[in-house]
A and B are shown apart, each in its own frame.
Chain A
């Protein structure tokens, strides 16, 4: 690297960055599983009863069609949990696929607020939308640590 001329680096670095951006904007989004898993852990109900306003699930879940468009709720608590119109028994999973862009409001006993929103977004098209989608997910992953 030390043998490279500075002028060449000036060309190589932007070219590399442009290549990465082009990949991020046009490469198909690979999805091994389309499940977006949310688990209600054991003890949620007991903590709630003890006065801890615990929120196990985020108040808003954003899904992307064709990438992670199946909501998978796993109740590992010792009591049934109500998610919208569904009663999920202890030890039970509930899998709900979405196939249209939509905003869905659900009642949910796993939330201190008692409600939850599931936003289903379109599959990001190649180009700027896909680049923005990838950047947003990187940002989200960094903020989650």
Chain B
């Protein structure tokens, strides 16, 4: 399947739409200071696949696991890496906004502290 000529610009534009996964992944890129290629590598996909992923709807809170599983399955990407990226953005955003993180969100903090596969542990 050929890559549509409009895909790149649509993926860039997705960062400006709160419902789009592209807006979350853009935040993740900024937090982690990643290029698009590095983000694609991080998720285990090609830059073209990453652009399609940007056009997905961001997972709903009440069915997070189901939504991310669907996205990971469709694009054949590493589920745990996608979850870690989304959780990290959620936690950083909550801390940045000064919102209290309740007990239900404790797993978010754990996810935020997760290390990427292959990265060094703290001393």
Q: Do A and B bind each other?
A: no
